[in-house]
Structure formats: structure tokens, C-alpha cells
Amino acid sequence: MPATNADLFHKTRLLTPGPTAVPEAVLLEMAQPIIHHRTKQFQAIFKEVSEQLQRLFRTAGPVLTLAGSGTTAFEAAQVSLIKPGAKAITIAGGKFGERWQDVYNAYGVEQVQINVPWGDAVGPAQVEEALKANPGVSVVTMCHSETSTATAADVRAVAQIVSKTDALLLVDGITAVGAMPVEMDAWGIDVLVTGSQKALMLPPGLGMVGLGPRALKRLEEVKPGPCYNLDLRRWLASWKKNDVPFTPAVSLVRGLRVAMAMIEAEGLENVWARTAGLAAATREALEAIGLKRISTSPSDSVTGVFYPEGVDDSAFRGGLRDEYSVHIAGGQDGRGAKWKGKIFRLSHMGYVDAGDTLAGLSAIESLLREAGCVSVGAGAAVAAFAGAMA
Amino acid sequence: MPATNADLFHKTRLLTPGPTAVPEAVLLEMAQPIIHHRTKQFQAIFKEVSEQLQRLFRTAGPVLTLAGSGTTAFEAAQVSLIKPGAKAITIAGGKFGERWQDVYNAYGVEQVQINVPWGDAVGPAQVEEALKANPGVSVVTMCHSETSTATAADVRAVAQIVSKTDALLLVDGITAVGAMPVEMDAWGIDVLVTGSQKALMLPPGLGMVGLGPRALKRLEEVKPGPCYNLDLRRWLASWKKNDVPFTPAVSLVRGLRVAMAMIEAEGLENVWARTAGLAAATREALEAIGLKRISTSPSDSVTGVFYPEGVDDSAFRGGLRDEYSVHIAGGQDGRGAKWKGKIFRLSHMGYVDAGDTLAGLSAIESLLREAGCVSVGAGAAVAAFAGAMA
């Protein structure tokens, strides 16, 4: 892709880690005339979607679908499941882990924070120690894939530890579910949350909460916290009737059914393999032009690298966008690091293939070369990508 | 419309009071490829939408757009604006007024409840008395148009009373804004809330909160309640930068811009007049076939009547749906009344015209006649409707 895309037809390649590209079939489904939600027609759609989500989450338990963002869904789990007056262990190594700490701060929940350096994954032993040192802990929150640092944690190992205690494990799977192996029941995850705008290939607007047996029991035991809309008891009671307590985002739910059918047609394991393959090849490609990874435990859903010295983030991403119609993400600032302007990230989730990724990598290489930051021969990134995919 | 619609092409007429029909132009706009929300392109759309909403709300103040349902938006206003430990006056005469009482119950907020019989509107003098008897009241909640009882309240008069006190008036305008005259600034409404799926002609998934000067001041003064996503301070801070704190429902926001442009092309006053005209003619039509209104103060956004003796709600609405593809709403149960199975309601909001309404009324008349409940001559309802519209 030596020629820029700007003067042609602006074929956009959205490689941001959410929102991600939405398939045409899903866009058209959502453009169908609106239907009322208190109808058998919608209930049948909602039932099918709920079953699809159970297969996606790999769980026999309920997966609730809330109107709102992924943050809505995770906050609902946090506030609905904590025992009043009890402590939470909150694990953070990036912007989103820190957000779940902020949420409990807003509710005045006492926390044992485990803060790891940005780009590192939490060690399961750290969680084990914290649980031992704090016997009354009620929930543990963690990110499976920390989007801001492109880092994956070993949820399976942590779940094994937490499941031996009375604490519930709340997993932010917002950029994990549908992108990488997550086995809710087999691993013993108590609560698994995701959002519509990542691997599920939908516009933003829906958040999903899967509830395991221990979480369902907790919901019956604890008295509702200070919440109404976010009270998962309401959503669960309605879910049992293939319904929702408040007006649902009807068109998004319709679109979700089609997106999930696409995932099931490809086969979930094949989707995981495609995502992992794109991620591995992208890491090779970026390394081939001398870029350094931001993560010591890279996630397969998103790849992040540091900018070479002297590259201006906003000019670079602006150039990608304006000249090549390629959209990638920059960095974010948090308590653990200030990565705004320091890094860039691209997504491998959902409706994206090798062609899209090649186009993005080629544009990235071209712009960095123009900036004098690439010393290897032309095409090094795309050649490395193609080699890794072969 | 003597022939049923079932075997033809199932041209659906959605006359439910939310979700309402979405215009084709809006559906197509939402089917556009997804864009990322942290872009100038989205910011420009969001800025335009915010300005359109200010004109719709008739306010110079901010109108925040939240991802979620109308309930999300109203709960956010309730929890963000109440002074800690202070009382609220909560007015209910239907399912939604009762919901706002339930929300404050969930947060443990002490209430002075004003409960009027379902179908009646609150008297402004009742509010005045309650404010006098409870000097420390922090907020007053009320519905402008109580959808469950098809009843409109005199918000203007109540606002005049409340604005003389230190209490804020929180108005549920979910089936009022865009359907009937609401003048946020001129009437002195402190907080005005609406949702996307009513007169705004969009799918469900967005809630809007308009904030007047006294509400903005209150937001600065009170300390955040137990909330994170629903904390309006976050939304306001982002709004000032044409942004949102959490991933927005991008496609719905795009659709909103087109829907608002349609409203502005028609002219807001003309939209109000069309809605009021349809409502008045529908009342005449239903009265002409002997049906009794459920409201002593009928709203122009939705009309409700009691079923004649012996008509089964589910068979009747099922017949309308299956034979005529006409969708209307039934009744709801609450603390103040049990109206499930007793009433039916049809909407005049948004993308609906005289033709749609005539089709609905004709089908209603046909089915009631088949059930032996209509004693006047054939076509009485549609003739009365046409006469009233002439």
C-alpha cells in the first residue's frame, strides 16, 4: 500500500480496540424496522441471544444483557455482589483496573489494592497472599485483558485460587470474551463481564454479565446495595422470563443475534485462533521495524508498542487517519503510568482479517519511514507479518 | 381497512408508546460503518447533537446524553442531585412516578410521597402544601406525561412553585419532550429527562438529562452520592469537551442527529401541533365507539381507554398484531392501580401520522365490533377521527 487512501474512496479500516468494525450484515439487521420489546417476537430474539451468549461465555448460568457500556455492566456486578461493609481486593495494572478501583471508591468500599506496573500481569501468588492476609474479603476484581496496556493476565490460575475462598472473582473480560480462550464454568469464574463494541462486533451500547453458581447464591444472600438500575437482581428476575426490567436497546440486541451467529458459523475456537494469529504476526511485524512492546504479557486482542523517539502521536495517528483512513488508538494516562503520546495500539478483535491488518501495518511503516524512524528495508513489517501468517 | 393485513406484506404499524417507529433515514444512518468515539468526526457529531438537544429542551444549559434507558438517565439525576440525608418529595399517579419512588427507596432516601389516583394529575397546590410542610426538601420528582395512565401534569405551574424554594424540580419528560410543549428555561425546570425511543424517533439506548442553573450549582455543592457511571459530574465534565466519560452508543448518537434534523425541518411547534391533533382526534374516535378514557387530564403523547366488558386484552392485542400488524400497548400494574388487562393505549409520538393512526383505529373498531362491543354504525371511529382532523 504505497499510495495513500485519502484521494480514493476513504475505505476506512478501524483497528481501534473498541469500537471495532461492525459487519455489514449486522448493520443491515440493525436497520430493520424497530419492534416493541414486550412482544413474543422480541422475547424469542432475546432468548436466542441469551443462549448464544451462554455458549460464548462457556457457561450454563445466566448471561444478563444490560443497556449501557461495559463500565455499566462491571459497575453493576461490583455494587450488586459486594457484601455490605466487606473489603474488596482490586487488581490494577492499567486504566481499566484503576477504573474498577475508582468505582469502589465512589461507593466507599474498603479496598486491598494490588497495583502492578503498567504492562505487567498480576502474579497469581500476589492474589493468594492478599487473600490470606485479608480473610474477610468479599470480591476480587481483575482485568483479563487490560486494554490500556495490551496485557493479558492468567485468569485461570487466579480463579483457581479465589474459588477456594469465600470471595467472588469478578473478571473484566471486555476485550477478552470472544477474542481469546475464556472458559467461565471450567475455570470457575464467578462473574464475567463484556461489552458489545469489542470482539462481539457491534456498536457500543450493551454490556453483558455472566453469573456463576456462587454469584447467584451471593445475589440471594446480600441485601441490595445503593442502586436501582444496576441492581442485578432485577435483571436476573427478568432474564428468567426472557425479558429485561427496563427498555432494552432493541436494535442492538437484534444485531447481537446476527453477530453471534457469525461467530458460531466461524466456530469460537477458530475465532480465537484467528485473533491469536493476527496478534502474533502483528507483534513480529512491529518488532521487525524496531518497535518495542509495551507489555511483558501481551494480550492477543490488542497490541501496543512504544513510539520511537521523536514521533508525535497526534500527527502520526492523524496522518494514518487522513492519508490512509486507518484508525488506531494512542495511549492513556492513569495513576500507574502516563502513556498518552507515548504508545500506540491496534486491535485484533472481531471483524478484522489479515488484509485489514496488513493495510494498517503498511501504513504505519510508511509513516514511520517518512519520519526517519525505520532503518530496515521497505516492506519489512508486512513481510514479517506475511511470514508469520504463512 | 376491512381486509386484514396478515396475508399481504405485514406492513407493521407500531403505535406503542415507546419504542416508536424509527424513520427509514434514521435506520440507514445508523447502518453506516461504525466510527471511533475519540475522533474529531464523532466530536463534531456529538456537538451538533448537543446543540440540537438544547433547542429541543428549550434550554441554554447542558443536555447530557447517557448510554442506557430513560430510567438510567432519571436515576442518574436522582442520585447525583439529592443532598445527603435530605428528603425528596416524590409525586406518583402511575407506574413511572412509582418507579422514581422505588429508586429513592433503593438508595434509602427519605420521601414525602404525593400519591394521586391513577389517571389524575397532581394538583400544583398539593405540591405547594407538601413543600411548606417539609421545609428541608432537596428535590421534587414528577412525571410530565405519565405514560402508564396517559396523563399530563401541569409542569409549568409546579415549576413556578418549586422554583421559589431551595428544592430542585426533576421532571420525567420521557414521553413529553418532543411531543408536547415543554419550555425548560422559560418554565424554570431544574432537570429535564427524556429517552431516545419515544418522540425522538430512535431505538432505545440513550437517555438525556438537561440541567438548569440551579441544578448545575447543586452539582458543584453536594458531594457525589454512591454512584460512578450515574454520577452526572462525570458526564458534565466530558460534555464540556464534546465528549462522554464512557464509550457512547455511537450509532444511536449518529441516528439522533438525523432524527433531530427531521424534527427541526418540520419545526418543533409543528411537531407539537401534529401530536396534539392526532391525540385529540383519537380521543374523539374512541369515544365515538363508546370507549371511556382512563385519564381526567389526558396527555397528547399517548391515549388510553378502558376495555369494554368482556374483551380479553391478550386476544384483542394479539388479533390486532396478527391480523392487522398493528401494535398497541396494554395496561400495567402498580401500587396505585392494577390496569393489566383492563386498558389499552396508543401513541401519537414521533414518526406517526394520521394515516397510521387511522389504520390503527380502523383495526381496533373492526375487532371490537367482531367481539360485539360496538353498537354504532361501521366506520364510526375513523369517521370521527377524520372529522376531528378536518
DSSP state of A77: H
Tell me the residues of chain B between 63 and 92 that have a Cβ less than 8 Å away from chain A.
67-72, 75, 79
The predicted-structure confidence for A170-202, as pLDDT tens digits, reads as follows: 999 999 999 999 999 999 999 999 999 999 999
Bond prior to B226 in cis (omega within 30° of 0): no
Please state, rounded to an integer, the average pLDDT across all residues of chain B.
94
At residue A11, the pLDDT reads 66
Q: What is the mean pLDDT of residues A272-298?
A: 97
Between B21, B34, B68, which is nearest A203 by CB?
B34
Q: B334 vs A13, which has greater pLDDT?
A: B334
Upper half-sphere CA count for residue B98 (Cβ side, 13 Å): 16
Please give the Cα distance from A297 to A124 (Å, whole number).
14
Q: Which three cell numbers stand for residue A20?
A: 471495532
Amino acid symbol at A112:
V
Measured between beta carbons, which residues in chain A are less than 8 angstroms from residue B72? 67-68, 72, 229, 246
pLDDT tens per residue across span A308-318: 999 999 999 99
All residues at 6 or more sequence positions from B312 whose CB lies less than 8 Å from its CB, including other chains = B341
In the predicted model, is pLDDT for residue A42 greater than 90?
A: yes
Region B137-151: mean pLDDT is 98
pLDDT in tens, B316-325: 999 999 988 8
- Looking at domain B13-21+267-389, does it have CATH number 3.90.1150.10? yes
For residue B18, pLDDT beyond 60: yes
Q: How many helices (H) and strands (E) does chain B have?
A: 14, 13
Domain A13-21+268-389 has CATH 3.90.1150.10: yes
Q: DSSP secondary-structure letter at A173?
A: -
**What residues of chain B, 98 to 117, have a C-beta less than 8 Å from chain A?**
102-103, 106-108
The CATH fold assigned to B24-265 is: Aspartate Aminotransferase; domain 2 (3.40.640)
Closest Cβ–Cβ partner in B22, B71, B229 for A72? B229
Alpha-carbon distance B383 to B288, whole Å? 9
Residue A6 clears pLDDT 70, i.e. is over it: no
Instruction: Mark which residues 170-199 of B lie under 8 Å from A by CB.
Output: 195, 197
Q: How many percent of chain A have pLDDT more than 90?
A: 84
pLDDT at B11: 66
More confident residue, A343 or A25: A343
Convert B349-361 to b/e letters by CB count within 10 Å (16 or more is b): bbbbeeebbbbbb
pLDDT band of residue A377 (cuts 50, 70, 90) is confident
Q: What is the pLDDT of residue B3?
A: 44
Of A325, A326, A324, A278, which Cα lies nearest the Cα of A303? A278
List the grid coordinates of A76.
Answer: 453493576
B181 band by pLDDT with thresholds 50, 70 and 90: very high
Q: Over the stretch A146-174, which tens digit does the pLDDT of each residue have? A: 999 999 999 999 999 999 999 999 999 99
Mean pLDDT of B366-381: 91
User: What is the pLDDT at residue B386?
Assistant: 87
Mean pLDDT of A61-83: 95
- A48 pLDDT exceeds 50? yes
> Which chain A residue shows the shortest CA-CA distance from B30?
A31
Rounded alpha-carbon distances, angstroms, from residue B76 to A84, A109, B144, B171, B341:
22, 20, 18, 13, 32
User: In terms of pLDDT, which residue wins out, A355 or A106?
Assistant: A106
Percent over 70 (pLDDT), chain A: 97
Nearest Cα to Cα of residue A339 among A175, A102, A151, A148: A148
Give mean pLDDT, residues A225-239: 92
Task: Quote the CA–CA distance of A7 and A5 in Å, as a whole number.
Answer: 6
CB–CB of A224 and B106 under 8 A? yes
- Among the ranges given (A33-42, A83-92, B176-185, B361-370), the one the predictor scored with the smallest mean pLDDT: A33-42
Is residue B2 classed exposed, middle or buried when 0-12, 13-18 and 19+ CB atoms within 10 A define those classes? exposed
Question: pLDDT tens-digit profile of B246-273?
Answer: 888 899 999 999 999 999 999 999 999 9
Report the pLDDT value the prediction gives residue A246, as an integer from 0 to 100: 87
* pTM attached to this predicted model: 0.84
CA atoms lying within 13 Å on the CB side of residue A147: 27
The strand pair at A302-306 and A326-327 is best described as: unpaired
Band of the pLDDT at B10, cuts 50, 70, 90?
A: low
Q: In this complex, which of B30, B205, B329 lies closest to A67 when CB atoms are compared? A: B205
Residues B276-293 have a mean pLDDT of 96
Taking CB atoms and an 8 Å limit, are B36 and A14 in contact across chains?
Answer: yes
Supply the pLDDT for residue B298. Answer: 98
Closest CA in chain A for residue B254: A203
Average pLDDT for A260-282: 96
Integer angstrom CA distances of residue B70 from A74, B120, B163, B208: 20, 23, 24, 7
Interval A60-87 mean pLDDT: 95
pLDDT over threshold 50, residue A2: no
Whether pLDDT at B8 is above 90: no
Task: Give the rounded percent of residues in chain B with a pLDDT score beyond 90.
Answer: 84
Residue A10 pLDDT level (bands cut at 50, 70, 90): low
* Per-residue pLDDT at B43 exceeds 60: yes
Residue A298 has pLDDT above 50, yes or no: yes
Hey, do A13-21+268-389 and A24-265 end up sharing a CATH topology, with the first three levels equal?
no
* Helix A232-239 and helix A213-221, axial crossing angle in degrees, nearest 10: 120
Per-residue model confidence (pLDDT) at position B175: 97
Q: Which of A184, A348, A216, A375 shows the shortest CA–CA distance to A276?
A: A348
Which chain A residues touch B14 with a CB distance below 8 Å? 33-36
Q: Do A205 and B252 touch (CB under 8 A)?
A: yes
Nearest to B252 by CA among B45, B77, B2: B45
User: Is 90 exceeded by the pLDDT of residue A7?
Assistant: no
* Averaged confidence pLDDT in chain A: 94
> Hey, are the CB atoms on B33 and A14 less than 8 Å from each other?
yes
pLDDT on residue A54:
98
Q: Inform me whether the C-beta atom of residue B380 falls under 8 Å from chain A C-beta atoms.
A: no
CA–centroid distance for B356 within its chain: 20
- Residue B1 pLDDT more than 50? no
Domain residue limits, chain B: 13-21+267-389, 24-265
Q: CA-CA distance, A361 to B271, in Å (whole number)?
A: 50
